[in-house]
Chains A and B, each alone.
Chain A
Amino acid sequence: MAEIEKVDYWRWTESNWRNPEIADVTGCLLTAGVDIGSTSTQAVVLADGVPFVYSNMRTGNNSPDSAINAMNWALKDTGLKTEDIEYTIGTGYGRVNVPFSNKNVTEITCHARGANYIYGPTIRTILDMGGQDCKAIHCDEKGAVTSFMMNDKCAAGTGRGMEVIANLLAVRVEDIGELSFKVDEEPDPVSSTCVIFAKSEATKLMREGWTKEKVLAAYCHAMALRVVRLLERNGMEPDFAITGGIAKNMGVVKRIERIMNVKALEPTMDTQIAGAVGAALIAKDLVEKKRAKA
């Protein structure tokens, strides 16, 4: 009997990056941020405040190991070791589990600071769509948080919800956005309050003859409606940007833009590393403050 290949459609692609414009970091102030989220872990190293290397990988079942693995992957082939980094800040839900961190800072603060760096000082509203929660954050021109609101009670509006639908429909999670636009007209959203109900509803719709694309459109629509409510409650002020893994899913991003009648800023780097970038920038500020005092 032929063996059936098992495909994990929810698995998104891990990545690492090195800044091609920085050849040597000798004499540079090296600071790092490690963001341990429920689903993904990122490590970012800055050289004098400029991104030098980063990695983005799935969080395993052991947060300290995830932090070590992410940092080792980021530093691969650089000749650097974790000990060479002057100051490291841990953030994310697993922030207390970064074994080599000097301090931990909440992901809300780090995301605002990171988004301010990635999108520029005009950014005021950030929607961070994480693996298992969703946050609406307001910040000032320096990237300091002025208000925030999060929802982690239910998986609707999170990356996990998207992964469940990817597996159910046998569509790679990274293809969902594009496929969701291949419909003649926008369908009504599926149940937007619960992933479990949305999953049963999607199954029912498939049975009724809906195409995968139409179900994906209905799901992306529901997810957009869900997070828009959070944005509206916390207050929406342009400029606006989305961070986190779902920011890569145009099916959700474009629908949020349409519902809110606002254009999200285009990211200049991986949207998943915003928290870790923010942490590394805060680490740099702390080192400089300490040096100025000495």
Chain B
Amino acid sequence: MIANYGYEDGSGHYYIKIDTSKCAECKDKGCVEKCPEKLFVVELDDFDDEVVVIREDCRNTLRTNCALCKANGEKELCRQACKFDAVGFSW
């Protein structure tokens, strides 16, 4: 399943995309530790697979949460840590 967490407002659309079937295969979930904003948390999904989701209290503030990583101009730290290429950004 492709889960898109985020929002759209007058300034644009800000979604983090997680491919949960790829994510469920990953054992170490490196994105959780690597993200300086601690946006990722591990949860059991509806099919009892361990997957990462974006913290509920951050889903409507992603533009500011991810600003530092984005400003670097390099691949975001969560994407660098994800060995399964399960994380993507809409902006």
Contacts and interface: CB of A to CB of B under 8 A. Distances in A.
Interface of A: 105-106, 109, 138, 144-154, 193-194, 229-230, 233-234
Interface in B62-91: 90
Nearest to A133: B7
Nearest to A192: B10
Contacts of B7: 151-154
B16 to A, nearest CB: 11
Contacts of A233: 4, 13, 15, 90
Nearest to A157: B8
A105 B43 CA distance: 13
Contact of B46 (A105, A153, A154): A105
Contacts of B2: 138, 146-148
A148 B17 CA distance: 10
Interface of B: 1-4, 7-10, 13, 15, 46, 59-60, 90
Contacts of A234: 4
B60 A147 contact: no
Contacts of B3: 147-148
Residue with the greatest number of chain B CB neighbours at <10 A, chosen from A149, A193, A194, A234: A149
A162 to B, nearest CB: 19
A230 B8 CA distance: 9
Given A109-B46, A194-B10, 16 more contacts: A138-B2, A144-B1, A146-B1, A147-B2, A148-B1, A149-B4, A149-B15, A150-B4, A153-B7, A153-B9, A154-B7, A193-B9, A229-B8, A230-B8, A233-B4, A233-B90
Nearest to B14: A153
Contacts of B4: 147-150, 233-234
A193 B10 CA distance: 6
A151 B13 CA distance: 10
Nearest to B62: A153
Contacts of A151: 7-8
A152 B46 contact: no
Contacts of B9: 153-154, 193
Given A105-B46, A145-B1, A153 B60 contact: yes
Which 8 interchain pairs have the tightest Cβ spacing? A147-B2, A153-B7, A149-B4, A153-B60, A109-B46, A193-B10, A105-B46, A145-B1
25 contacts: A105-B46, A106-B46, A138-B2, A144-B1, A145-B1, A146-B2, A147-B3, A147-B4, A148-B1, A148-B3, A148-B4, A149-B4, A149-B15, A150-B4, A152-B7, A152-B60, A153-B7, A153-B8, A193-B9, A193-B10, A229-B8, A229-B13, A233-B4, A233-B90, A234-B4
Contacts of A150: 4
A148 B3 CA distance: 5
A145 B8 CA distance: 21
B15 to A, nearest CB: 7
A108 to B, nearest CB: 8
Contacts of A109: 46
Nearest to A235: B2
Nearest to B13: A233
Contacts of B8: 151, 153, 229-230
A136 to B, nearest CB: 9
